[in-house]
Chain A
């Protein structure tokens, strides 16, 4: 369950104050696959960052998985992200110096899971995205679609309740994009993981349960 109440976010420079989000109210029930659309600069990423505890709201409250997390900071926020959240980025952000399986293990590393257990869980996650035969490859030996599948495996390896995806298909052609959407949909149904996805692609958005449109930092639908 994600519960945003009256969330506003403004960025202040010396001279001007930019309002990125205005009194946003949004509730995402457990197991929902929600997509967020809107033109560039409408506050989609800000919204996602606030849900991911990457950014703090200027006003309002954020409740994630039953916890009021608005003012979490330091190692508390790190711990919460580690256990409850999984991230998928438009440009994958895999660590090129680490093998595929090491990349997938990353969240478990900060959970102090034993090496053996990490390996087992990472391979299982790779299996789920259909890449177990690429475990020892390195990111730059993979195609874009494969990289995003590794990123998904990394996002789900720690069994988070919520996955936040920032334009996961944005850098992929439509065929690969469809593949990624299929995987996300399966995760949503099989593991009933809550997924919030920012996208520019109407077609992808239609595959989700619900679509929220933003414009100028406000919900328009």
Chain B
């Protein structure tokens, strides 16, 4: 039966090359774009290394110091007493007048070290600084590298894929050892190779020599927390920054909540801490606020340039999803239309099948099957196209901060999308075909 349907499906496709071409073009192109979107979505939001635990992460990138200004309003009442004398009574109300002085930015190591270590519902946490760029020199060549100063926990919170070597540990951080973990891209740029032979070699970073201890795979996206070329122990940062006793500095924190549901608890604790924080004497500001959030919060807030993460999420994702739905709907409607026009062409075939004993479900399944064959062929072409595009995009860093992921997960999504697309575009035409009236069709 299946073989019979398959033979017929392929014959029909060959009989109408132009129709087939138009359908396949639409299908494969749509599916390719969908796969690219899926792949990009996966790179941005998926639980990929080194952020496999992204669902448990709470990011604390910034602290705000602020002072609110208040106005005092006096209200004066006059009362005429029984004796005819006038008395005065005044009340005063103090309200914020909407003016505020503030200063936003990442935090100092001392602030994090003193205050951010004792929260509940936190399995692990790390302090890091993505403090700009450093120039590295080799054989008279200069390579500019994005530099991250991180603690030893960093490698627990972010599960980088180590191609060679190992992360540095607590001893290296405590001893301010000059060791470095670099990405494969940095290794290629600096040493010209990615191999076990690079481990143990020295790099000139700024005016210091660092020994390579590990090479990691480059992450799929340039997230603020992971987008370094080289990772150094945070104790090796400029001592003025490390020892800085102000509130603000170049550091941020990432907490790993004990479960995704506990992220809210962590955020609440941070909020509570900020509300009750007593400013050191002589400070220019009176209060602090801590901007913490999940990865989604952070993405939406960054995209919409606002700190109201709830609103930002709606503003980012509703248009995105609508756009995606439209993008799926248009070729789908087109394909349904093409399929429906095929009904008339094959009316007599359907009528004959019914006359010889096919019931509606036989016809329905036959045409759904034919449509699935078409979609799957389109899917394979779309898949090949997508893989080529992904390679090209990644090789040339074409979409800035994101590289396109290609994983089994993406492939699985893709297969689901292909089947869904095939079913959706086939069900209506197949249903109409299955209701063909034999008498009129064979007249």
Q: Which residues of A contact B (CB under 8 A)?
A: 45, 49, 52, 54-55, 74-75, 77-79, 81-83, 86-87, 89, 93-95, 97-98, 102, 105-107, 109-112, 115, 154, 158
Contact = CB atoms under 8 A, between A and B. Distances in A.
A154 to B, nearest CB: 7
Contact of B358 (A78, A93, A154): A78
Interface in B346-365: 348-349, 351-362
Contact of A78 (B1, B8, B357): B357
Contacts of B355: 52, 54, 81, 87
Contacts of B351: 93
B439 interface: yes
Contact of A106 (B7, B11, B353): B353
16 contacts: A45-B443, A55-B439, A74-B359, A78-B354, A81-B355, A83-B357, A93-B348, A93-B442, A98-B7, A98-B8, A98-B11, A102-B4, A102-B7, A107-B357, A110-B358, A110-B359
Interface in B3-26: 3-4, 7-8, 11-12, 15
A83 B12 CA distance: 28
Contacts, number: 70
B1 A54 contact: no
Given A74-B360, A78-B354, 4 more contacts: A89-B442, A98-B11, A107-B357, A109-B358
Contacts of B348: 93
Interface string B259-281: 00000000000000000000000
Q: How large is the interface on B (under 10, 10 to 19, 20 to 34, 35 or more residues)?
A: 20 to 34
A81 B442 contact: no
Nearest to A151: B352
Nearest to B438: A54
B357 A97 contact: no
A78 B15 contact: no
A109 B4 contact: yes
Q: Which of B7, B8, B352, B362 has the most CB of A within 10 A?
A: B352
Interface of B: 1, 3-4, 7-8, 11-12, 15, 348-349, 351-362, 438-439, 442-443
Contact of A110 (B8, B357, B438): B357
A82 B3 contact: no
A198 B443 CA distance: 14
Contact of B11 (A86, A94, A97): A97
Given A109-B4, A115-B3, A93 B357 contact: no
Contacts of A94: 352
B356 A107 contact: yes
A52 B11 CA distance: 30
Contacts of B439: 49, 54-55
Nearest 9 A/B pairs, CB to CB:
A82-B357, A78-B359, A110-B357, A97-B11, A75-B359, A107-B356, A54-B438, A54-B439, A93-B352
Contacts of A78: 354, 357-360, 362
A153 to B, nearest CB: 12
A75 B8 CA distance: 23
A62 to B, nearest CB: 15
A45 B438 CA distance: 12
Given A95-B349, A98-B8, A102-B4, A81 B360 contact: no
A52 B348 CA distance: 16
Contacts of A52: 355
Contacts of A110: 353, 356-359, 362
A111 B4 contact: no
Contacts of A74: 359-360
Contacts of B11: 97-98
Given A54-B438, A93-B442, A82 B356 contact: yes
A81 B4 CA distance: 21
A87 B356 contact: yes
Given A93-B348, A93-B351, A109-B1, A154 B356 contact: yes
A97 B3 contact: no
Contacts of B361: 75
B1 to A, nearest CB: 6
Q: Which of B1, B356, B359, B362 has the most CB of A within 10 A?
A: B356
A97 B15 contact: yes
Contacts of B352: 93-95, 106
B391 to A, nearest CB: 39
Q: Which of A54, A112, A158 has the most CB of B within 10 A?
A: A54
Q: Which of A49, A78, A81, A105 has the most CB of B within 10 A?
A: A78
A54 B440 CA distance: 10
Contact of A111 (B7, B357, B359, B360): B357
A79 B356 CA distance: 9
A59 to B, nearest CB: 18
A45 B4 CA distance: 31
A175 B438 CA distance: 30
Contacts of A49: 439
B45 to A, nearest CB: 46
B15 A106 contact: no
Contacts of A107: 356-357
